[in-house]
Structures are given as C-alpha cells and as structure tokens.
Amino acid sequence: MGNFLIHEFTPLWLSIDRIGPFQSRLEEIDFTDSNDESCNIYLFLSKNGRGKTTALELMAILMGMLGYDKPQELAAAHGRSPKAPFDSEHLDRGLGRAQWDVRVRYSEDGSERVVVLSLIAGQIGAETSLRFWDEDALLTVGAREWHRFGFCHNEAGSWAAIGLQDQWIANFNAIIATAAGEKIGGFEDSTLVWPTVIYFSAYRNVIPVSPDQQRAIVAPHDWNYCPVHAFRTEGGDWRDSLDNLLVWLMWLDDGRFERAISLVNDRVFGETSTFIKGITKEPPEAQVIRDGNIHRLDALSSGEKSLVQLFLRLGAHMTRNTILLIDEPEAHLHENWKFRLFNQLKNLAKDYFPRITIIVATHSQEMMTALALELTEPNLRKGGYLFETSEEEEKVRNIQQEAMQRYGKLEEQ
C-alpha cells in the first residue's frame, strides 16, 4: 500500500455460532442504524448469563489476530499453546466459530475507498463465511470490496490462516504489525490513525501495589499502539498499576501527564472536592486530594476507582479509530456515579464522533434510560441488541441450574 490513511474503522455485524450460550442457532448482531451507518454508541441488553460478555470478549479476540500471519505467532506472543492461540475453549478446540465485520474507510495515495473487512476464527473452512458480502450487501454500507482474514482449524485440529493470499489483507496486516509500539498522543489528543479495541471487563478495581515490589520507572505492558488492550482485574503488579502509568507519563515529560490529570479531574471528579494533584516522590504514586486530605488511588470509593481506571486507560491508548468495549459499567457504582458515567460516555461519543465507537453490555434500567435509544441527538448514532434465548436453551439452562443447586445441597450435607 502507498500512503495509507484510515478515516473510519467501525463495526457492522458480529456473527456467533456454537460458542458459550450460542449453541442452538447462529446469533447475528447488527451494529448499523436505519441508514446502514455504524452506530457510535450501542447497548448489549439482557439478564446475566445470556451472552453479553461472550460477545464483547469475541470482538477483542478477533481484533487481536491483526498483525500476525500465523496462529502460532499469535499464540507465542501471548505465551499460549500453539494449539490454543485464542485461549478460548470454543474457538481453539470446539466447534465454535465467529465473524466480525467492520467497515474500513481509508485513503491511499489521495484516493478514498471503503471496504468490508471480516475477521474470522474457529472451526470454519478457508472458503466459508458466517456472513457473505455480495455486491448488493456491500453497496448498502457504501463499500465496493470484501476482504477476509483470520485463523481457522479443521476437525483434526490443524490450523491455517485465512486471506493472506489477498494482497490487500497482506498489506494491511503488515501495516498493523509495523505500527505496533508506535507512539500514541493519548488523552483525547491522539493523531494515530491505526484502529484499536480497548476492552474493560466488569472488574475495574484499583488495588494496592504489593509492598515488596520495586517501584522502578518502567513502561507499562503493551505501551503505545496495539490493536487490542484488554483490562481486567489488577493483580497488584507495579508495572500494570495505574500509579505506574502516571509515574511513567510524568517521566516522559511530553505533555501527556498533564492531559491525563486534566482528563480525570474534569470527567470523573468535576464539581466535587476530589482531584488528582500529582505524583509523590517516595513512594512514587498518584496523590489524590479530597477535602484537603491526601489519599492514594486505592483509597477511592469503588465507583471512583472504576471511573478512574476506565478514563485513564482509555486516554492512554485511544487512537483516532477506537472501539471501546465495556462490560457492566454500572457495576459497583452508586446511583450518582452511574449517571455521571453514562453522561460521560455519551459526551465521549459526541465529542469524538466518528473517532470512537462505544459498545456497552448492561442490564441496568438506568443505563437504558440515560442513553435514551429512542431519542435523536447530535453526533450520536444509537443502537442496541437484546440477547434472548429459545425455549430449548431455556430448558437446558434450567436443568443446569437445578443440577448445580442439587450439587450445592449435597456439598452442604
């Protein structure tokens, strides 16, 4: 590819087959609005256990293939077995398969083009797709080309790459691989165009760093550009902590630290008596001021920690084409903090339209009310998907729950 510049990287469809709760039928999630434009704020809705988290995890997994030519390379990069490159039972060893279709609008040597890129994984034939994009389907989303990429295996467990014979895929994948580690402006000021997915699990606590660890000035893991950043429960490791992130930014002294502090103080602590002031020297960690008293980050309330975690990580890694995935953002939040978060998510989608797509899994009535999917708002393309189960799936679920209850009673006896 020549002078390649991405203007849009947005989701279109997610197809899931024989993975987790999705066993009896092909689940197809449409991320477009009535005008066939990608929604920039989208809700996954259901009770617990219906597949919302599975769908979020799959998008992060599929995005994580980019930059690798072989499944074995993906496995090696993450310390996994060559037979389990995805660290997913259904994709690695079972019958599961998934396809995520995204719209890529880009310029190359001054000419603008739109294509559909399908990321495919699991037990699926090299020439098979869960969703087929013919000429008419492409035209509905303003595209003229369809490109497929992914890693698949057969019943015998042999792995193969899909799509690398396609020159567009080979070039695009090489660009992503080369871009890995490239500097990100970060904190709402990024000029990097490469696409990234930032995934937050439902566990966004900030826990104290283990006291026996040496607090050296060291870059956080996967620093700067990466196609996927997944944030789950912190493990008390200094390098992965928010304190280290802020210390590292302060050491870089390139303006990102000041923007990070401003981001959190404005979007999380605005109109309160709490704010992040700076970094203490010994030990090196963030200094939080509340009502004139000094605290550590891990001394914040659970809701505050959840929001600080979200906005600092997002700010550090967002590019000009970011897809933000959040599982149960309302978890552990007081009612006041729920509405603060919901409003800030809407503001992010509005302020950085169309640079950021926000996909949220929730069963919160307050979340649905705050986002008001039925209302039209400037710079917001809203959408949602309700995960339902068939009667057959409900029967199986009930049988499993009854069996677990009986097992629990036997354990008590």
User: Can you give the pLDDT at residue 146?
Assistant: 98
Top pLDDT among 394 and 271 is at 271
**Distance of alpha carbon 101 from alpha carbon 114, whole angstroms:** 13
What are the tokens at 404? 């677990």
pLDDT at 407 over 70: no
Strand 27-30's sheet: what is its strand order?
27-30, 4-17, 97-108, 111-122, 145-153, 159-162
Is residue 397 over pLDDT 70? Answer: no
- What was the pLDDT predicted at 54? 94
Indicate the DSSP class of residue 22: B
Is the per-residue pLDDT at 131 higher than 80? yes
Confidence of residue 404 (pLDDT cuts 50, 70, 90): very low
Please name the residues in contact with 209: beta carbons below 8 A apart, sequence gap of 6 or more. Answer: 215, 236, 237, 238, 241, 243, 244, 285
Q: What is the mean pLDDT of residues 142-166?
A: 94
Q: Is the pLDDT of residue 406 over 60?
A: no
Give the whole-angstrom CA distance, residue 170 versus residue 162.
Answer: 11
Question: What is the C-alpha radius of gyration for the chain, rounded to an integer number of angstroms?
Answer: 22
φ/ψ bin of 366: left (φ > 0), alpha (ψ from -120 to 50), beta (otherwise)? alpha
What is the predicted pLDDT for the residue at 396? 45
pLDDT greater than 60 at residue 392:
no
CA nearest to 260, candidates 292, 220, 213, 233 = 220
Of 394, 385, 388, 377, the C-alpha closest to 361 is 385
Query: Is the pLDDT confidence value at 99 over 60?
Result: yes
Judged by average pLDDT, the poorest of 10-24, 108-122, 162-176, 208-222 is 208-222
Work out the number of other CB atoms within 10 angstroms of the CB of residue 248. Answer: 19
217-271, pLDDT tens digit by residue?
899 988 999 999 999 776 678 988 999 999 999 999 999 999 999 989 998 898 8
Overall average pLDDT of the 146-175 stretch:
94
Length of the chain counted residue by residue: 413
Query: Residue 101 contacts by C-beta under 8 Å, 6 or more apart in sequence?
Result: 11, 12, 13, 14, 15, 116, 117, 118, 119, 131, 133
Q: What percent of the chain has pLDDT over 70?
A: 93
Ranges 3-7, 9-13, 255-259, 341-345, most confident = 9-13
Categorize the per-residue pLDDT at 402 as very low, low, confident or very high, splitting at 50, 70 and 90.
low
pLDDT for 234 equals 67
Backbone φ, ψ for residue 32 (5° rounding): -105, 160
Residue closest to 132 by CA, chosen among 29, 302, 13 = 13
pLDDT of residue 405: 57
Give phi and psi for 61, each to the nearest 5: -60, -45
311-366: per-residue pLDDT in tens? Answer: 999 989 999 999 999 998 887 777 777 888 888 888 899 998 889 999 999 887 77
Distance, in Å, from the CA atom of 280 to the CA atom of 215, rounded to the nearest integer, reads: 12
85 preceded by cis ω (within 30°)?
Answer: no
| Listed residue (389, 404, 381) closest to 54, CA to CA | 389
pLDDT digits (tens, 9 = 90+) for 201-210: 988 777 778 7
- 276 in Cβ contact with 283 (< 8 Å): no
**Residue with token string 């869960």:** 130
**pTM of the complete model:** 0.91
Domain boundaries, the chain: 4-202+323-412, 236-303
Q: What is the predicted pLDDT for the residue at 344?
A: 86
Segments of 247-371 assigned E as strands? 274-280, 285-290, 293-295, 321-327, 356-362
Strand pairing of 285-290 and 293-295?
antiparallel
The answer to whether residue 19 scores a pLDDT higher than 80 is yes
Which of the 8 DSSP states describes residue 95?
Answer: S
Average pLDDT over the chain, rounded to whole? 88
